[in-house]
Amino acid sequence: MFGNLFEEEEEGFSSTSSRGRVAKGGDEPTPPRGRSNLCGIKNQGGTCYLNSLLQTLLFTPEFREELFSLGAAELGCLEDKEDPGAKVRVIPLELQKLFASLLLVDQQSASTANLTNSFGWNSSEGTNQHDVQELNRILFSALEHSLVGTTGSTFIHQLYHGTIVNSIVCKECGNVSQRQEDFLDLTVCVCGVSSLEEALWNMFVEEEMFEGNNLYRCAQCDMLVTAAKSAKLKKLPPFMTISLLRFSFDFAKCERYKETGRYSFPFTINLLPFCEETDAGDSDFCYELFSVIIHKGGCYGGHYHVYIRDIDQLGQWEPPEEECKPKTQKKVTEEVKPTCEPKLQEDDPLSVITAIIDQEPSKSVLTDQLGQKLMDKIGSSWSKKFRKHYGPIGKFLQSHNDAFMLVSNGTRVALKAIANPSSPVTEPPGPAKPTTNSDPSTPSDPRAAEQQPELDQKSEPEQKGSHWFDLNDSTVTSIRESDIEKQFQGKESAYMLFYRKTQLHRPSEALNNPQYKIPLNLIQMAQEENIKMQKMREEFDATSNTVVLRLHLAPSYRLEYGALQPISKEQNGSTTLTFDRRKTVGDLRLDIYQKQELWEGDMALTVARSLPAGLHLYNTLTDDNVSLYSAGICTNSDLFVWNGREVCGATVLTGAEWEPVLLNVVRPNFGEDGDPEEGDGLESVEERGGFENGGPGLKREARGFAGASTLGEVREALGEPEESLLCQEHKGGKREEQGTGEGGGASGWRVFPPGDMQRTLKELSLKDGDALLVLEPQSFDSSMFALNGDVVTVTTPSDCRWLQVEFGPHDGGGGGGGEGEKEEERRKIKVPATGNMLLCEVKQRAIEELQLQEQLAGAQYCLRHVDCTGKLLPPVCEELSVRDAGVRLMTTLTLCPGNAPKASQLFLHFSVGSAPSAGMEMDIMVEKTCTVKECLKAMLEAVGLDGTCWHLRRLDWCEEVGEPIMDEDASLSELKINNGETLVVTEGQLPPKGFLKLSVWLCLDPSNNSAVSMDFNHTDNGHTDAVAAVDSPPLGAGDTAELRSAGQVEISDEATLEDLKTQVLTLPALQDACVPTTAFMRVWQLEGRRLARILRGQQLTLKKLKLPSGTDLCVQQLLTEEDLGPKDVMLSVRMGVPGERGFYPPEELVWDATRDSSPRSLRTCLAAHYGLSPDSLLLAKHQPDKHAWEEISNWSRQVSKKKKKRKAESLLGAPFHLKDGDTIGIKNLLIDNNRDFLTLEDEQGQQRLREQAEQRRKGGQAAGSEGPPKKTGQTKSRKPEVALSINVGVFR
């Protein structure tokens, strides 16, 4: 019926409580029931509608007992359902099993998977949500068909069946015609009705008259007569189900919507005024509300949950949370339970969080929701009120582990002294309820158990009578009766109402007895399930509370460089221990004592952590009565076992402030004669651009120091004199230019000032891995170090610099190319080099070391760089040194076929005709002093072309052919053409400098087939469209006018607009045009054959008008002179015909928007033009692409909250963007009451757009550039609607 009309919202409730958790021991078992002692139902993805109806039927005692009264003799057994010969009524059996599980099994929520499987639903059906009113009827029908031939075949009929009698009374003869109809639920109207009583009054009291043109044919009178129709309730069922028609259809908008207005309903109702027979007592007509199914959301998505009155008092009702109540109800709540809640101290975060958790039904709160609940409680966030004094909320909870504990793998926070609720199965009681994901520190609290009867006695006044609960899938919470009134209106409102007769009374033995009238086999099944789940929870509890600890024994460690290091490198000094984190620190200490038989003296357990510098100690576990969980010990925690004072005679400093920092101490390393020793770490240094691994001439040593140590203490620990300098690598500055000290390799170090000697390493922001250079005063005697102010420059020596030369097979290589093609890998060699070394020497050494003399004999080879994409860069000039050629040391050069350019030459790429593709360009070497003309000639000779109709162009920034090189006599160096640049040889004469070639178009008027008149106007069609002046048809978008080419003009970009108009008049197509002066001509710029803008400013140059070469222009003759200013807007205005859906012919109007571009300025201008009052005009802008009109109203002043300034009300900006040629419609409200601007042509255009959009949707074609309007026909993509059905076997 409704398909997936009520699809679950994203904010809907999860079907599992352990979503997102990862348990060590496998899947987490279902948690036990909460404090309400009621069981929820898991959501399969979209079955909240089913869950709400099932809970309502479960809490309908008469329905539940009738279902349980059916035994195996009538229904069969589920074990035989696969037997073809057995008649197993699966649906009632599964419903019995589900109800027994909801009543007796100790679990937070039950699954409906078996029940939906009995319906014949597949896995996808669980994610498709349907209408609960529809499900109610289909489920009852399925049950009736399933119970055919049993004693329960009529119990649905007995409980829910009622009768309505419809009567028609003839006003002429008094004849009464009656017809009865049965119902299982009443559907009442919500639209236009304020209450349930009013809706019932309209249905069963008000009469509908047949009169006028709507007469009734009386069978007795045999003619059309006046008659009255009415309906009455004839038979009332024990249970009255009322469905509210919340969802309606808007025929104007062609869409569904939800009625969210106020619609009240009573808690008790007397149906006597709506019944046919009124002889019985009032008790036969009185009903009381016991269930309300609520829908939250809109007509295309939402969520169901249900408010239910616990008639048999099966649940444990508690006052709901205070934060859910408005402030006006807080005083009432305090009077109801003065002893249940202590006085809240809002300045004490411990008191506030304790109160929040204590008010939760489960006595726990999700950690990510705690902040929001705190804000709802005290009206302020944690960061604003407590963070400054107490730090983050997570650290606050950890520091108060004596009051709070993290449960459910850290996803929830709970109080420590809360006892577990009792099991719902009272006979037999079964084993004690486990504390799955609760406090693992203590199994149970006997004091809490002793205090439990007192709490029950205190809350006894609240437990008298039946109370209301909110059953929201897996969640069950207590609510007050007054909360139901909140569901009278809004997006979350009542959808189905369930009433029961007040004369139905429950026996006393049914109260507080979930086993009442449940068959013994189902009770036994529930008990076995409870035992099974109890065992699973215990196993999971033990597994999830087992931690693996790493124990570090003091005899295996020594203190070195501020941290603990293992004595033996082969053994890391740690052992693993598996332990239960619920046990205490004392238990752990005793266990270690027993395993370490040789341990003597005191034993201290200190939390440790492995740092880059070594093992560091933090807090010592001193309280033996605290559990490991409360102490923050988790899996893979490190514990150091020692005497608490010293390790191997050395005192150990503990705590975060003494965390060691691992520094790389760098010192000069001079060899014989003062020369630095060679090292082979230089390659990795230069490739990374830093000295992280030291370098030749420097030696490195990793040393750890306490973070609280001062820099002076570090210098003393290194054994350095006071005059020594300590330096930190200068990471903020740039490396010095290539060429510093024989070809580069210099790095900067900042000297710590004397004041920093008293600052700690943490204050100086030194961290693990930072380098610390230690220099004695005599170090500056070496050329390696140079002091400039507070910066020390370290220059690596030149004798260890190198260049790598790579050689591989190349097509067209030397005589040895055959052998090179067989090589699988390219050959490489490192050639020692300095910044002063010539590149020709580098090439010669590389050829010798690679033994390529014979292979390359007689062939020319050069050295070239390769970029990151593998493309060869221009050859380097071998006449220059490494430094002068800009070659960085420690980089790679490739030995390639070809000549190397000289110092006076340029190596250029070029192509003919178009931009070159990768690897397809040609190369040439020319002198830097040669002219562009000479370069072009050389390129043409290289490709075998001749002639003078060629010119050169450069590539622009996006690698496309750019502007031509105009000065052919200039040299390449003067034009700043660089080595490796690409030029394009283009066919054609070089255009004159600064000249533009413009195309000119005329309007062809079909009325006289003449283009000479050039009379045309303009309206905006998406961008622009041309229209004929006054009586002429539109141009561009219309089919009745077209453009005709008038020729081309070539003109300098320094010419004025007036010069352009004068030259246009010389074209042959315009020789017969009568134009007194150029002011009588208007020039439009075309874009895509549409008019874009009017060129204005007679004396402005074409360069200032930003006209590029190749622009299309359209000219228009005027009857009067025109000189538009920069803010003048030429509009096409159309006055509406009074009383008709049309407009008078358009007129041109120039609106001066220089000073004021607001709607009022335009309205004043139009009023002056037509001689009318501005207040009587209604304006709208035409949108031809949508065939719609956008009304221009007098905007109210809008004030920005941040800047407190009035926003600009300009029609030149959003949303109208008025420009030349736009059409403005005008309505004179004094004589025309029709405010609608749409014409018949507009409606036809909109219909065409809708048809085009529908064709595109059906054909799957992509929307074009002029697609349909955004709002027309577009809806949110939804799943296809699927009919709801339940498959039932045949039992007749």
Q: Catalytic amino acids?
A: 48, 303
What number of other Cβ atoms are within 10 A of residue 854's Cβ?
Answer: 9
DSSP secondary structure code for residue 209 in this structure: E
H or E element at residue 230: strand 227-235
DSSP H helices, 916-1053, are: 932-943
Residues in CB range of 771: below 8 A, 6 or more apart:
663, 664, 666, 691, 692, 700, 728, 729
Distance CA 602, CA 644 (A): 8
- Catalogue the E-assigned strands of 1013-1141: 1017-1019, 1025-1027, 1034-1035, 1042-1052, 1081-1087, 1090-1094, 1112-1117, 1128-1135
Asked if residues 1124 and 1094 have their Cβ atoms less than 8 Å apart, the reply is yes
Asked if residues 986 and 911 have their Cβ atoms less than 8 Å apart, the reply is no
Residues in CB range of 153: below 8 A, 6 or more apart:
144, 147
As a dihedral over the C-alpha atoms of residue 41, residue 43, residue 44, residue 49, rounded to 10 degrees, the angle is 100
**If 0-12 CB within 10 Å is exposed, 13-18 middle and 19+ buried, where does residue 47 land?**
buried
H or E element at residue 703: strand 698-706
Distance CA 583, CA 292 (A): 48
Say if strands 268-270 and 286-298 run parallel, antiparallel, or are unpaired: antiparallel
Distance CA 468, CA 313 (A): 10
Distance CA 737, CA 888 (A): 10
Distance CA 696, CA 800 (A): 8
What number of other Cβ atoms are within 10 A of residue 597's Cβ?
Answer: 6
Asked if residues 474 and 13 have their Cβ atoms less than 8 Å apart, the reply is yes
As a dihedral over the C-alpha atoms of residue 759, residue 763, residue 764, residue 767, rounded to 10 degrees, the angle is 130
Asked if residues 1154 and 1125 have their Cβ atoms less than 8 Å apart, the reply is yes
Residue entry with tokens 């705590």: 655
Burial annotation 1211-1247 (CB, 10 A radius, 16+ → b, else e):
beeeebebbbbbbbbbbeeeebeeeebbbeebeebbe
H or E element at residue 176: strand 176-183
Asked if residues 425 and 33 have their Cβ atoms less than 8 Å apart, the reply is no
Distance CA 619, CA 656 (A): 9
Nearest partner of 650 among 566, 573, 558, 574, judged by Cα: 558
Residues in CB range of 659: below 8 A, 6 or more apart:
611, 616, 706, 707
Distance CA 748, CA 794 (A): 6
Count the residues in the chain: 1292
DSSP secondary structure code for residue 667 in this structure: E
**Cα atoms found within 13 Å of the Cα of residue 175, Cβ hemisphere only:** 13
Backbone angles phi, psi at 608, to 5 degrees: -125, 165
Angle in degrees, 0-180, between the axes of helices 48-58 and 132-146, rounded to the nearest 10: 60
